[in-house]
Amino acid sequence: MGSLQLKSIRKAYGSHEVLKGIDLEVKDGEFVIFVGPSGCGKSTLLRTIAGLEDATSGSVQIDGVEVGHVAPAKRGIAMVFQSYALYPHLTVKDNMGLGLKQAGKPKAEIEDKVGKAANMLSLDPYLARRPAELSGGQRQRVAIGRAIVREPKLFLFDEPLSNLDAALRVNTRLEIARLHRSLKATMIYVTHDQVEAMTLADKIVVLNAGQIEQIGSPMDLYNRPANVFVAGFIGSPQMNFIDGARLGDKSAKTIGIRPEHLGLSRESGDWKGKVVHVEHLGADTIVYIESDQVGLITVRLFGEHRYAPDDIVYATPMVGSMHRFGADDRVLA
């Protein structure tokens, strides 16, 4: 249980098309992440799966059953929202139990399931509190608990970590990963943060302007981006893009190389340039170089390095690390 098929989903608001034909298959137990810049339609797609929005055309199947006309509550899904969306006038316990109560489950069963979920998320001490009395991280855990209690076929997460601060974000991310392992449930997760996508996903779906750019495992997307968009979106700092003609490559319009795949030397190398700016991050050193041959490029060095602006340096790409893209921005074989 817990598979999902999307077939040519289209969604338009008036003449403005937000989703332009999405086909996707999610297997039982998979952790799939929709990632893309704001306005790419990833949240709309998630809402369409949830049934909060109706697709203009196309079909949504959960476990092989068409759910296009099924109410959200009957789809066997649970959703965690960016804004938590807890019921402000209910206690944590009632927040988590409301869905089951609406479904007419007996009290003892609700009690039991809420207890288990609270235990899993270490929320026991807070069961009697109202959302206003909780911190942001606790609220998000309650929202996750509310989803667990429903024992859904599909978990839907809509940017659940965006409102948390950096430290809490890492903790909650771990918690979600742990949850996925212990529940073995199918999870669909929307984010614009590629770190979340890379760390959590079994499968990443990169969306742009209402279309799927590429589907693959995190390492697939990193090592074999299908086009310039995915290459630029995955990886931080962003991949360097160099005009093919500048490197004497006639067939490739653009050549991409990741900052971590460039070596740097003061003595000799392929591309001579002047250091423009250096960022010391401790574990990494990011060096920005203005080169006559390839323009402004970013180099990511591991560890600490003593480069300073105006130093003359030579950058050399590692063997086999170049990505070549054709005139249509797609990768060349």
Partner 1 sequence: MQARHSIFRTGFVHAALIAYTLISLFPVFLTVINSFKDRNAIFRAPLTVPTPETFSLIGYQTVLGQGDFATYFQNSFIVTVVAIALVLLFGAMAAFALSEYRFRGNTLMGLYLAIGIMIPIRLGTVAILQGMVAANLVNTLTALILVYTAQGLPLAVFILSEFMRTVSDDLKNAGRIDGLSEYSIFFRLVLPLIRPAMATVAVFTMIPIWNDLWFPLILAPAEATKTVTLGSQIFIGQFVTNWNAVLAALSLAILPVLVLYVIFSRQLIRGITAGAVK
> Considering only 15-23, 84-92, 118-126, 288-296, which stretch makes contact with partner 1 by CB under 8 A?
84-92
Q: Can residue 106 be called a binding residue for partner 1 (CB under 8 A)? A: no
DSSP conformation letters of 108-145: HHHHHHHHHHHHHTT-GGGTTS-GGGS-HHHHHHHHHH
Q: What is the DSSP letter of 72?
A: G
Q: Can residue 102 be called a binding residue for partner 1 (CB under 8 A)? A: yes
Q: Can residue 314 be called a binding residue for partner 1 (CB under 8 A)? A: no
Residue 93 Cβ vs partner 1, minimum distance, rounded to whole Å? 14
Q: What three-state secondary structure class fits 36?
A: coil
Pairing of strands 284-291, 271-280: antiparallel
Alpha carbon 264 to chain centroid, angstroms: 31
Q: Can residue 72 be called a binding residue for partner 1 (CB under 8 A)? A: yes
DSSP conformation letters of 223-241: HS-SBHHHHHHSSSSPPEE
> Considering only 77-85, 118-126, 168-176, 228-236, which stretch makes contact with partner 1 by CB under 8 A?
77-85
Residue 58 Cβ vs partner 1, minimum distance, rounded to whole Å? 20
Sheet (strand 211-216) strand order: 77-80, 154-158, 186-191, 31-35, 203-208, 211-216
Binding-site member from 78, 92, 154, 315 for partner 1 (CB under 8 A): 78
What tokens appear for 7 in the block?
Answer: 């077939």
CA distances from 103 to 119, 150, 243 (A): 23, 10, 60
**Across-strand partners of 218?**
none
Contact mark string toward partner 1, 211..230, x via CB under 8 A: --------------------
Residue 60 Cβ vs partner 1, minimum distance, rounded to whole Å? 15
Total residues at interface with partner 1 (CB under 8 A): 34
Residue 133 Cβ vs partner 1, minimum distance, rounded to whole Å? 8
Handedness of CA 102, 107, 110, 114 (dihedral sign): positive
Binding-site member from 23, 109, 133, 290 for partner 1 (CB under 8 A): 133
Q: Can residue 88 be called a binding residue for partner 1 (CB under 8 A)? A: yes
Q: Can residue 84 be called a binding residue for partner 1 (CB under 8 A)? A: yes
**Across-strand partners of 288?**
277, 298
Binding-site member from 15, 16, 38, 71 for partner 1 (CB under 8 A): 71
Binding-site member from 132, 283, 308, 319 for partner 1 (CB under 8 A): 132
For helices 107-120 and 92-102, give the axis angle rounded to 10 degrees: 130
Q: Can residue 82 be called a binding residue for partner 1 (CB under 8 A)? A: yes
CB 155 within 8 A of CB 122: no
- Rule CB under 8 A: which of 192-211 touch partner 1? none
Q: Can residue 85 be called a binding residue for partner 1 (CB under 8 A)? A: yes
> Considering only 46-54, 111-119, 173-181, 228-236, which stretch makes contact with partner 1 by CB under 8 A?
46-54
Binding-site member from 8, 37, 66, 87 for partner 1 (CB under 8 A): 87
CA distances from 140 to 19, 160, 169, 251 (A): 28, 7, 10, 50
What residues make contact with partner 1 under the rule CB under 8 A? 47, 50, 52, 71-74, 77-79, 81-89, 98-99, 102-103, 130-134, 136, 139, 146, 150, 158, 163
